[in-house]
Structure formats: structure tokens, C-alpha cells
Structure 1
């Protein structure tokens, strides 16, 4: 599978600026489980680290943190940002199928939204680099949704975003056969159970299908509509659509442009309006035996 984020035309700096940050409580969830089962805090490895968005969150908890990504552009952006981070943080260009670290080095291996691009053989490398007693934590956000609370005709506005993301134009450029939401993580390759190398996979999901009533939004952000559009435009599926439809980009034929017009029509939202958005979030944990 071709990784869009490794495409030289993909803007890693814009991706770093506009993509959401994982909530601190996700990392607390991962760390609490890791430590309670005997995990250590020597080395953390973030695989498919991109521009370092999730990698940086590991620094306060580990003596050394390493980020690995196949895209030189992503690693350049991450390394540039790392000058502002206090701690032992380094980045390397490399692939999940050939991780550039030594055997049995890693206490915690994480991957945020990247494992869907890994070949199943990457588990051989995970088995090599993760110490016995270590943890693999694979997490990712899926469909973005709008919280309708406090917005005129909020349900219609929320539906405008769902319709944008599931529009035929974008779905035709999906790398996952049109599968949306948690279906991507449902199909992740996991190691064979009972082989003496890995424990049972544990899975948690938050806000599947969006937010209902007074339900807490586990991964939430308050941003302007203009920032929302910029966020959506950094998604791989939109990048692929835009490359194939340069004449339609930023017009009413652009799915994001159409969504923006609908938000204004349904709820009177302008580019300066502040909204609460959230993401479906999934976490899969495995223990190295």
C-alpha cells in the first residue's frame, strides 16, 4: 500500500500544524496499564511517528524516546520541532518492517494512526525490538464529528460533516476500500495468539459513531470553522482527491467547500465561529511475553 504521507508533495509542516493532538488521558491510560503489568520506563519507540505529534507526549515518562517514520519530510518536521522539547528525543528515517533499533531495546512501542499502513510482517520486528514485559499500544482516531450541542440546527450541521467525509468523491480515493470508522482497526493484523510471544490483545473504543446526548467527548478540540477546514485538508484522502481534481479544489465542487456552505446555511456558522469537534478513538494493547 502506498503511504500518502510519504509522498514528496505532502506538506508535513501543515500536517503538524493542523492535525489534532491525542488527549493526555489516552497516554495516561496506556502508561497506567503498562506500569501496572510490570512495564519499565527506559525506552519508548513511536513507529510511524509523522512530524512527532504523539511522540512528544511520551517524553515526560521515558528516559529515551525514539520516533521512526519512512518519510524524510515528516522526520525533518519532527526534528525541527524537537529543539523545543526537553528530554532525550531522537528521530530516524525507517520502516516498521525494518525498525532501525537494536534487539530488546524498547519498553513501550506506540503507533498513532500508522499501523494501518504496516505490512503484517512488521510483528516480526516488534517481537525483535520490544523487551519481554514490554507493551505495544496501537491507537488512532477515525471519523471526525461535530458536537451539535449549542449550535443552531446542530444535528444538520453535524450531518454536513459526516456527508462530506463519506461523499462519493472522497470515498473513491480511500486506501481502505471505502471502509470508514473503526472498521480500519477491526482489520489490523495482530500476532497469532498462543505463540508464547504475545499476550491477548485488549481493545478500547471511545465515541464510536459520534457523541450522543451528554456523552463525554474523549478526544475533543474547540476550533474555528476555518481551522476545521484546514484540519480536514491535511487528511490523506483529501490530498489524493485534490491531486486528482486540481480544477475543482477550493470551489463549491470541493467536498470541504460544499460542507462549509452547508454549515453556514444550516446553522449560520462563519469561518470565525468556534465549534467543538471530536474523533472516534481506538486503542489496542498487547503485552510482550
Structure 2
């Protein structure tokens, strides 16, 4: 792919409005709060692609957010482009930067149309990290089939269920308290279909052969679904955080953002849903003997990676 090719960007992500409206400052907070994926995720993508004879010329990351996955994978490719519908996210990604295997700067562009890039058969790998659940998948698969080179790969991944790790003091009581607050605040009312696809581990994410009409050009036999359980490392680093970090991370979740938009008078107060979570955790940790100022909670998540190859 010529580095002068300008991405005219991604398939429809119009179903997701929360991140689309992110400002650069919100994008910065998101980048600081969200953790990178474990090396095993990236290794799985690269191994799958190269084992089928795929080349490492051009990477395209759709819904790249602040560019975390683009940077990690882009270092293995000659060219890398990250696309996102949010100008705030793209500005953050550009600020953070990144280079490819050749030292070329990674390109980050705002997506505004139903195209991935200008031209066909020009991309080797398309990835979407915790983003595909917001796509209009019929359009995505049709355009992906056009822009991928023969032997190219698509890799889509996300985290799934989350829980309090059993090593956290009073873990069972904390988990029960979080679920009770979730019900009291009717947080599920602020889940969209994309959030539900994530919670279910992409079991129902439309694939080339399940969309209507079906999309030709992908090897169904090449399809791989890889899962990470609660005991596996889907994210990099330790899952144990202090409660300031807990609040910051949870505040970037789209259902929480939508809840806060509907309860503006509660934001930042003791009635804020995230603050209620925090106070419940603090109380139960103290009951278990944790001293004030030493409160930490460890989380556990599942993860899933879907991969398929272009014929």
C-alpha cells in the first residue's frame, strides 16, 4: 500500500454515539485508564496470519481508539493505519504516535464514510480491538473482502465477562454488592446491543457466512475462535488496582458514560454509580481487615479472539 493513500475510512460505526462524541481530553483519559492487551493476543494474531503465508506489509486497525493495538501490532508491519470515527480519539492517537517496522510513522485518520481505504487488495491484516461490536457487520465484511489481499486476515477481539478475583479479601461479598448496585441503578438499561455482544463473548457477532446476504471471499474452514478464561491473562500487567484507578477505569465504560449523561446531577457526588461501587468495596475491604488507604481490588476477565482468512 502506498503511504500516500489516504484512508477514506471505516464501515458504519453510527450505532455507537458515546465514544464518537469523545473530546481530546476524554480520549486522553481513556488512553490512560484502559490497559493494553497481553502479548498472547498479539502473538496469536501474528502467528495465525503468517502461518497461512500472509505478508506483513500493511495493517489496518478499525475503531482504533487511542491507537493501543495499532502501535503494538504496527511495529511488525511496513505500513500501519488506525481509523476511528471519533476525532477526539484520533487526536489522542496522533499525540501518542507510533512507528512501523521500517520507522515510518503510523497513520491515524478519522473515519467518516462506508469505505475502509481507497483501493482494493491493498491490506494484509484488518484488526478491531474491542470495537467490532459497534460495526454494521454486513458492510464491514463486504468492504473487508475487497480491501484484503488474497491470504489476508481479519482479527476481531474483545474482553467478555468480568468479576472480582477470588484473591481479593471479601471477594464474594464485594461481587454481590456490585451486582446489587448495578440492579438498583438499572445499569443494564444503558447497555446497547454492542455491549451485549461483548458480554456474550462475540458468540453472536455476525460473520461473513451469517450476515444477510452472505459475503463471499472468506474461508469458513480457516475460522478460529480463541478464548481466554478468568484464570488467563487477556490484559497486560496486574489486574489489581487502587480504588482511584478503579474509578477512573470504570468511568470509561460506555454504559457508565450513558448512565452519567442521564444522571448529570449525581456525577461526582456520593450518588454517582461509580462512587457507590467504590464505597461498597471500601466498606467490605475494611470488614476483611484491610486498613484505610490500603484498599485494592483485583479483577478477572474473559476474552475472545475471532480470526478468519481471505481466499
Are the aligned partners of 1:45 and 1:67 in contact in 2 as well (CA < 8 Å)? yes
User: In 1, Cα distance between the equivalents of 2:152 and 2:31?
Assistant: 29
1:279 matched to 2:301: yes
User: In 2, Cα distance between the equivalents of 1:79 and 1:184?
Assistant: 30
User: In 1, Cα distance between the equivalents of 2:99 and 2:76?
Assistant: 17
Q: Pairwise mapping of residues 47-62 of structure 1 onto structure 2 (< 5 A)?
A: 47-62=62-77
Q: Pairwise mapping of residues 1-289 of structure 1 onto structure 2 (< 5 A)?
A: 1-8=15-22, 11-82=26-97, 87-88=103-104, 89-95=106-112, 97-119=114-136, 120-149=138-167, 151-164=168-181, 168-176=185-193, 179=196, 181-183=198-200, 185-192=202-209, 196-200=216-220, 201-207=223-229, 211=230, 215-219=231-235, 221-268=239-286, 272-289=294-311
User: In 1, Cα distance between the equivalents of 2:215 and 2:99?
Assistant: 42
TM-superposed deviation, 1:115? 0.8
The number of equivalent residue pairs is: 282
TM-superposed deviation, 1:4? 1.1
Moved more, 176-185 or 250-259: 176-185
Moved more, 151-160 or 29-38: 151-160
TM-superposed deviation, 1:206? 1.5
Moved more, 75-84 or 228-237: 75-84
Q: 1:112 to 1:19 in 2, by over 3 A?
A: same
User: In 1, Cα distance between the equivalents of 2:202 and 2:196?
Assistant: 10
User: In 2, Cα distance between the equivalents of 1:180 and 1:273?
Assistant: 32
Are the aligned partners of 1:68 and 1:95 in contact in 2 as well (CA < 8 Å)? no
Q: 1:84 to 1:46 in 2, by over 3 A?
A: closer
TM-superposed deviation, 1:91? 0.8
Unaligned runs of 5+ in 2: 1-14
What SS class does the counterpart of residue 92 from structure 2 fall into? helix
Q: 1:175 to 1:184 in 2, by over 3 A?
A: farther
User: In 2, Cα distance between the equivalents of 1:64 and 1:230?
Assistant: 33
What SS class does the counterpart of residue 267 from structure 1 fall into? helix
What SS class does the counterpart of residue 41 from structure 2 fall into? helix
TM-superposed deviation, 1:85? 8.2
Are the aligned partners of 1:226 and 1:272 in contact in 2 as well (CA < 8 Å)? no
TM-score (normalizing by structure 1): 0.88
